[in-house]
Each structure stands twice: as structure tokens, then as C-alpha cells.
Amino acid sequence: MSKMTDQKYLVTQQYKNARNLNARENLHARFSTNPRNWFDWVFDHLDLSATADILEIGCGNGDLWAHIRDRIPPGWSLVLGDLSQGMLQEAKKNLSFLGGRAKFQTLDAQLLMFDGETFDAVIANHMLYHVPNISRAILEASRVLKVGGKLFAATNGQGHMQEIHQLAIGFAPLKQQLIENNLLRNDQFSFSLENGEELLRQQFTQVKCFLYPDSLAVTQIDPLVDYLASISPEISELLSPKLSDSFRQYLEEQLEKQGGVIKITKSTGMFVAYK
């Protein structure tokens, strides 16, 4: 199995359904310190016409549109795609209110089966770092955009959620296995706030970056355990009921040491690339 095929398989397995994504979104929804919801913030930057044709690659469970349902212009036409059939089923269920305004399609961001200059906007919300060939995905996004169209690509910076990883490797029974098996690898570095503009400028001459100021102030430990378990099947297996109890006790001790609030850095934003 090639490295590219292997990465595609890992992503498909990790996101075969919405369980892992839901665990991650739950942590952010409950403990983020920015009063402006991430999804509303993203919508604030979608400066599109009232009759825009929009493609989202890697739509996941459709949470972006579910959260902004009351703000979606009636003239927008949506094509929502994902590599995972399980995710698409979740999205269809969550977005049934859109009716005929949305089409759902299995797609690979590296080979979009659309004619050139089809869409006014392409949205890639925290997903380009999952793509084996990011440059190819950016090329495809540019190809299907109309002249004057925009790519909205959200991602994270290299310091994002670093305290979660520190908590994990601070627990001795987990540390050796996590490091030896590279289970805390951060694929987000492949398309990040630090290198995203350079990658996008391979196809787009004008690129802007908008930062979303936020952090987490976590006061309960179960959402942290669920988040860590969502990183990979291997970590989920390591956090078996027996080890999970010990890990929860360790996190409770850390929570007490930090005065009842575990603070976690977030580094998040969105690039807007103009064709």
C-alpha cells in the first residue's frame, strides 16, 4: 500500500461515521472561550452573492450548515461532498431542512468530477491537511471555481491544542506507546496557518488569512478522554475501561492542580483565496 493510499485509508477509517468528529466538536462547543461561535464566524466571511453555487469538500456531518441554517440565503445552491459514505449519511440526516437546495455526493478532493468554472465558492473546512496530495486538491478547487470565485480553506496553526498532547504523554502508561507508534502525529502541519498561504499561491495570486481568536477552558475531564480517543483507533483501544479509569484519575489530579480549569491553546483561522 502506497503512502498516499495508506493516508486515504486512515482518513476513511477515522471518519467512517460521525462519532470521532462529534467528540471533537463537543469539546470545542462546551469549553471554547470565544463567545462568537466558529460556524457563525466562518459564515461572516462568506461574502458571496445571493445566488451563489457552492461546493464544500469534506463536508463531514454537515455541522457548518446546520449551525447557520437561519442565515443561509434561499438563492444559494449547495453541493456537499465527502469521501466517507457514513459522513454523507449523517449530513443528509442533519440537513434535511435544505430540501432541494443541497445535493450530496461522494467525492475525492484530489479529483473533482465537475466541469471547470462551475462554482462561485469552494469550502474546505479543516480538511485539506487530510488530503494526501494537497497541491492536487488546491489545483482541482481552482479548476472548478468560476473566474472571480473564492476558496475558503480553514485550518489550524502548529501550536493548536498542544496542551492535550502534553496531558497524554504526561500519563506514563500511555507515553511510551504513543511515542513509539507515532499516535500523536499532527497531520495538520501539512496544511497549516504557517504554510497554507504558500501552498495556495501555487494556484491563486491573492490570498488572505483571517485568524479566529479562541482557547479552551476545560472544567470536566470526560470530554478530554473522548477527544483523545477520537484521534485514532489505536488510542481508543489503549484507553480501554481499565486504563481509562486510571487516566481519568490522572486528569482529575491535573484539573485540581490547575485550579479546576485546564487551559488549552487554540490556533485556528481561515484562508480566502481569490481566483
- Per residue in 93-146, pLDDT (tens digit) is 999 999 999 999 999 999 999 999 999 999 999 999 999 999 999 999 999 999
173 located within any domain: no
> Binning pLDDT at 50, 70 and 90, where does residue 22 land?
confident
State the number of CA atoms in the 13 A half-sphere of 216 facing the CB: 26
Domain that holds residue 48: 3-161+185-214+266-274
Report the DSSP pairing between strands 145-156 and 262-265.
Answer: unpaired
Specify the pLDDT at position 124: 98
Pair 149, 120: CB distance under 8 Å: yes
Taking the C-alpha atoms of residue 210 and residue 199, their distance in angstroms, rounded to an integer, is 16
Question: Is residue 97 exposed (0-12), middle (13-18) or buried (19+ Cβ within 10 Å)?
Answer: exposed
Taking the C-alpha atoms of residue 170 and residue 160, their distance in angstroms, rounded to an integer, is 18
Asked if pLDDT for residue 185 goes beyond 50, the answer is: yes
246 located within any domain: no
Percent of the chain with pLDDT over 70: 87
Non-local (6+) Cβ contacts of 96 within 8 A are none
44 located within any domain: yes
Give the DSSP per-residue string, 101-158. GEEEEE-BTTB--S-SS-EEEEEEES-GGG-S-HHHHHHHHHHHEEEEEEEEEEEE-T
Which of the pair, 241 or 40, is modelled with greater confidence? 40
Average pLDDT rounded to a whole number, residues 4-17: 46
243 located within any domain: no
Tally of domains in the chain: 1
Pair 109, 137: CB distance under 8 Å: yes
Cell numbers 453555487: residue: 53
133 located within any domain: yes
- Write the CA distances from 158 to 117, 194, 235, integer angstroms: 33, 7, 21
Angular region, 141: left φ>0, alpha ψ -120 to 50, beta rest: alpha
Asked if pLDDT for residue 219 goes beyond 80, the answer is: yes
**171-175, 199-203, 235-239, 255-259: least confidently modelled range:** 235-239
47 located within any domain: yes
Mean pLDDT estimate for the chain? 88
Asked if pLDDT for residue 184 goes beyond 80, the answer is: no
- Sign of the CA dihedral running 109, 114, 115, 118: negative
Average pLDDT rounded to a whole number, residues 177-202: 79
Question: What 3-state DSSP class applies to 79?
Answer: strand
Taking the C-alpha atoms of residue 24 and residue 228, their distance in angstroms, rounded to an integer, is 9
Average pLDDT rounded to a whole number, residues 242-267: 91
pTM of the model: 0.88
Q: What is the CATH number of the domain that holds 97?
A: 3.40.50.150
206 located within any domain: yes
Per-residue pLDDT of 51-68, as tens digits, reads: 999 999 999 999 999 999
Specify the pLDDT at position 214: 97
Position 33, amino acid: T
CB atoms near residue 185 (< 10 Å) = 11
Pair 141, 151: CB distance under 8 Å: yes
Specify the pLDDT at position 17: 47
Pair 113, 131: CB distance under 8 Å: no
Asked if pLDDT for residue 78 goes beyond 70, the answer is: yes
Taking the C-alpha atoms of residue 8 and residue 118, their distance in angstroms, rounded to an integer, is 26
Taking the C-alpha atoms of residue 172 and residue 229, their distance in angstroms, rounded to an integer, is 17
178 located within any domain: no
- Within 181-264, where are the H helices? 196-200, 222-229, 233-238, 241-257
Lookup: cell for 98: 435544505
Taking the C-alpha atoms of residue 272 and residue 49, their distance in angstroms, rounded to an integer, is 16
